[in-house]
């Protein structure tokens, strides 16, 4: 990380680690790329509470389970570390899939894909929306190996894993489950287990949802490494 901006108070992470960015209030104070800052600056100035609490951990590469109520800004809390992780790794077109984001519904996947395009506007990463119900699955199969970031529903992702020739995600850097409690519940058990079994274990994993998941079984299923639990109960 570059040296902290003079205005940022120093702070300590919950695990005893040290981050000079814990006290930051503004996106512009974060140790992130100018491309991401410029994307954020189109609309966003101050971080919400879940963003402030989680970004020092997610940006430092840790696994995080973040809980905060609906509408608290969880989407940016994972979009920013995804963009930064791939940007820092100098991820390019030939590197293939570096990030998979799983969302429980087409509608939510669509919304977060739009937010990705908005905030990621100045990055040269490619992102694709893979959701069920679209007819052009064959065209999608040709594109999918050239995408860096996949935003998907569990069923459609598994369909690609099973049917798309040469579908390849062995270099995956970061996995995100949005609305993780809904994705990990029984309804998606088959898809999630099948997906996880095909992903490399060495990766960063981020889970965000309205309620905190502490089920030891779920954490084992996802091979989380010493995850940081962050719960924000804003009294707004």
Chain contacts with Mg ion (rule: CB under 5 A): 74
Tokens at residue 170, please? 């062995």
Nearer to ligand ADP, 71 or 92 (CB): 71
Residue 147: in which H helix or E strand, if any?
Answer: none
Three-state secondary structure call for residue 3: coil
Tell me which residue of 211, 183, 223 sits closest to 66, measured CA to CA: 211
Nearer to ligand ADP, 5 or 194 (CB): 5
119 in contact with ligand ADP (CB under 6 A): no
Three-state secondary structure call for residue 23: coil
44 makes contact, choosing from Mg ion, ligand ADP, none, with CB < 5 to 8 Å by partner type, with ligand ADP
Q: Can you tell me which of 8, 32, 47, 101 binds ligand ADP, judged by CB under 6 A?
A: 47
Q: Which stretch binds ligand ADP (CB under 6 A): 14-22, 43-51, 149-157, 214-222?
A: 43-51
Q: Can you tell me which of 16, 70, 138, 217 binds ligand ADP, judged by CB under 6 A?
A: 70
Distances 115 to 67, 160, 164, 230 between C-alpha atoms, Å: 20, 23, 27, 23
- Mind spelling out the 3-state secondary structure of 65-128? EEEECCCCCHHHHHHHHHHHHHHHCCCCHHHCCCEEEECCCHHHHHHHHHHHHHHCCCCCCCEE
72 in contact with ligand ADP (CB under 6 A): yes
Nearer to ligand ADP, 77 or 144 (CB): 77
48 in contact with ligand ADP (CB under 6 A): yes
Q: Can you tell me which of 54, 58, 75, 173 binds ligand ADP, judged by CB under 6 A?
A: 75
- Give the number of other Cβ atoms within 10 Å of residue 228's Cβ: 20
Nearer to Mg ion, 107 or 142 (CB): 107
Distances 22 to 51, 119, 168 between C-alpha atoms, Å: 11, 22, 36
Nearer to Mg ion, 13 or 108 (CB): 108
Q: Which stretch binds ligand ADP (CB under 6 A): 70-78, 163-171, 192-200, 226-234?
A: 70-78
Residues that bind ligand ADP (CB under 6 A): 44, 46-48, 51, 68, 70-76
């Amino acid at each position: 990380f570059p040296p902290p901006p003079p205005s940022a108070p120093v702070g300590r992470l919950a695990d005893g680690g040290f981050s000079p960015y814990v006290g930051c209030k503004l996106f512009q104070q974060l140790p992130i790329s100018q491309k991401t800052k410029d994307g954020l600056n189109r609309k966003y100035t101050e971080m919400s509470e879940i963003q402030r609490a989680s970004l020092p951990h997610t940006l430092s590469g840790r696994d995080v389970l973040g809980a905060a109520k609906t509408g608290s800004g969880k989407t940016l809390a994972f979009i920013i570390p995804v963009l930064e992780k791939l940007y820092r790794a100098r991820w390019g077109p030939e590197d293939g899939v570096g990030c998979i984001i799983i969302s429980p519904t087409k509608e939510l996947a669509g919304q977060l894909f739009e937010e990705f395009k908005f905030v990621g506007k100045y990055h040269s990463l490619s992102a694709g929306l893979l959701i069920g119900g679209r007819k052009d699955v064959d065209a999608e199969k040709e594109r999918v190996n050239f995408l860096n970031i996949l935003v998907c529903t569990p069923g459609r992702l598994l369909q690609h894993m099973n049917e798309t020739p040469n579908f390849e995600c062995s270099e995956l850097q970061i996995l995100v489950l949005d609305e993780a409690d809904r994705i990990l519940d029984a309804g998606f058990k088959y898809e999630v287990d099948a997906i996880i079994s095909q992903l490399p274990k060495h990766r960063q994993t981020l889970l965000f949802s309205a309620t905190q998941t502490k089920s030891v079984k779920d954490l084992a299923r996802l091979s989380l490494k010493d995850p940081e639990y962050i719960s924000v109960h804003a009294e707004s």
